[in-house]
Amino acid sequence: MKTAHALLRTWPANPRDALPLALWDSAAIAAATGGLSSHAFQASGVEMDSRDVRPGDLFVALKGEAMDGHKFIAAAFAKGAVAAIVDRPVDFPHVLVKDTTKALHDLAHAARQRCKGVRIAVTGSVGKTGVKEAIFNSLDRSSRGAAHRSVRSYNNHVGVPLSLARLPARAKYGVFEMGMNHAGEIAPLADHVRPHVALITTIAPAHIENLGSMEAIADEKAQIFNGLVEGGTAIIPADTEYTQRMIDHARGLGVKIVTFGRSKDADVRLLDAIPSANGGSLVTADLGDKRLCYSVAEPGEHWISNSLGVMAAVRAAGGDMARAGLALAEMGGLKGRGARHNITVPGGKALLIDESYNANPASMRATLRALGQTPAHRRIAVLGSMKELGDFGPKFHRQLAEPLIEAKIDHVILVGDEMRALAGQLGKASPGPLGFIPSFDHCKEPASAIAALEEFGLTHGDAVLVKGSNSVGLGRLVTHFTNAPA
Kindly report, residue by residue over 345-377, the tens digit of the pLDDT: 999 999 999 999 888 898 899 899 989 989 899
Residue 15 pLDDT: 61
Q: How confident is the model at residue 432 (pLDDT cuts 50, 70, 90)?
A: low
The dihedral region occupied by 80, where left means phi > 0, alpha psi between -120 and 50, and beta the remainder, is left
User: Among 3-17, 79-93, 279-293, 362-376, whose mean pLDDT is lowest?
Assistant: 3-17
Residue 206 pLDDT: 75
Residue 486 pLDDT: 46
Both 294 and 252 in one domain: the answer is yes
Both 219 and 95 in one domain: the answer is no
Residue 6 pLDDT: 66
| Within-domain flag for 254 | yes
With a pLDDT cut of 90, the percent of the chain lying above it is: 78
Q: What is the pLDDT of residues 125-182, one digit of tens each?
A: 888 999 999 999 999 999 999 999 998 778 889 999 999 999 999 999 999 999 988 8
Both 74 and 138 in one domain: the answer is no
Both 307 and 244 in one domain: the answer is yes
Residue 139 pLDDT: 97
Is the separation of the CB atoms in 393 and 421 below 8 Å? yes
Strands (E), 162-300: 173-177, 197-200, 233-237, 256-261, 268-275, 281-286, 291-296
Is the separation of the CB atoms in 164 and 112 below 8 Å? yes
Q: Is pLDDT above 80 for 207?
A: no
Query: Residue 362 class from Cβ within 10 Å (0-12 exposed, 13-18 middle, 19+ buried)?
Result: buried
Both 429 and 289 in one domain: the answer is no
Both 321 and 349 in one domain: the answer is no
CATH code of the domain in which 319 resides: 3.40.1190.10
Both 378 and 473 in one domain: the answer is yes
Q: How confident is the model at residue 337 (pLDDT cuts 50, 70, 90)?
A: confident
| Within-domain flag for 1 | no
Is the separation of the CB atoms in 84 and 59 below 8 Å? yes
Both 64 and 122 in one domain: the answer is no
Q: Is pLDDT above 60 for 1?
A: no
Residue where a domain stops, chosen among 101, 128, 153: 101
CA torsion through residues 282, 287, 292, 297, sign? negative
Q: What is the pLDDT of residues 88-104, one digit of tens each?
A: 999 999 999 999 999 99
Residue where a domain stops, chosen among 273, 295, 330: 330
CATH code of the domain in which 77 resides: 3.40.1390.10
Average pLDDT of the chain? 92
Say if pTM beats, i.e. exceeds, 0.75.
yes
Residue 146 pLDDT: 96
Q: What is the pLDDT of residues 210-258, one digit of tens each?
A: 788 999 999 999 999 999 999 999 999 999 999 999 999 999 999 999 9
| Within-domain flag for 107 | no
Both 174 and 121 in one domain: the answer is yes
Q: Is pLDDT above 70 for 459?
A: yes
Residue ranges making up the domain that contains 432: 339-482
Is the separation of the CB atoms in 424 and 442 below 8 Å? no
Both 50 and 145 in one domain: the answer is no
Distance CA 149, CA 137 (A): 9
Number of Cβ within 10 Å of residue 226's Cβ equals 17
Q: How confident is the model at residue 192 (pLDDT cuts 50, 70, 90)?
A: very high
| Within-domain flag for 205 | yes
| Within-domain flag for 68 | yes
446-455 long-range Cβ contacts below 8 angstroms, 24+ apart = 446/384, 446/415, 446/472, 446/473, 446/474, 446/476, 446/477, 447/476, 448/415, 449/382, 449/413, 449/415, 449/474, 449/477, 450/476, 450/477, 450/480, 450/481, 452/413, 453/380, 453/382, 453/413, 453/477, 453/481
Q: How confident is the model at residue 66 (pLDDT cuts 50, 70, 90)?
A: confident
Both 302 and 448 in one domain: the answer is no
| Within-domain flag for 173 | yes
Q: What is the pLDDT of residues 438-458, one digit of tens each?
A: 899 999 999 999 999 999 999
Residue type, 236: I
With a pLDDT cut of 70, the percent of the chain lying above it is: 94
| Within-domain flag for 430 | yes
Both 127 and 267 in one domain: the answer is yes
Number of domains present in the structure of the chain: 3
User: Among 41-45, 149-153, 195-199, 288-292, whose mean pLDDT is lowest?
Assistant: 149-153
| Within-domain flag for 451 | yes
Residue where a domain stops, chosen among 57, 77, 101: 101
Q: Which residue has the higher pLDDT, 42 or 360?
A: 42
CATH code of the domain in which 469 resides: 3.90.190.20
Mean pLDDT of 380-386: 96
